[in-house]
Amino acid sequence: MNMLPTKLDHCVIHVTDWERSNAFYTTVLGAELVRLRWVGRRLRAECAILVDPHCSVIEAHAVAVNAEHRLIHAIPHLAAAVVHADPLDDADHHALLADHVPA
């Protein structure tokens, strides 16, 4: 499969800046891979952030919404983002999905 360069390369810099800026936002304890896709002339993003495992669902949701807002402002042409909040602990919260992840 031949991969052609896209404008996504330009966005990686902004994603790194976003992750760095979240280091100062105490409720986001980390960020995992941010995936970007062009849909027409706009970008869509999906990512996972790490939050305090003791925060409530409402607090985790608020943190995710704030992270989405920061992403929209950090990445040009980004229309929306799906931000998944994972608790920062030693448990494998996605073990149920392990058999469904492509190799």
Query: Does the model's pTM come out above 0.75?
Result: no
Q: What is the CATH number of domain 16-51+63-89?
A: 3.30.70.1350
Q: Read off the pLDDT of residues 9-49 as tens digits, 9 standing for 90 and up.
A: 455 545 555 555 554 456 788 887 788 888 888 989 888 89
pLDDT given at position 59: 92
Phi, psi of 95 (to 5 degrees): -55, -35
Q: Read off the pLDDT of residues 50-100 as tens digits, 9 standing for 90 and up.
A: 999 999 999 999 999 988 888 888 888 899 999 999 999 999 988 998 899
pLDDT given at position 88: 92
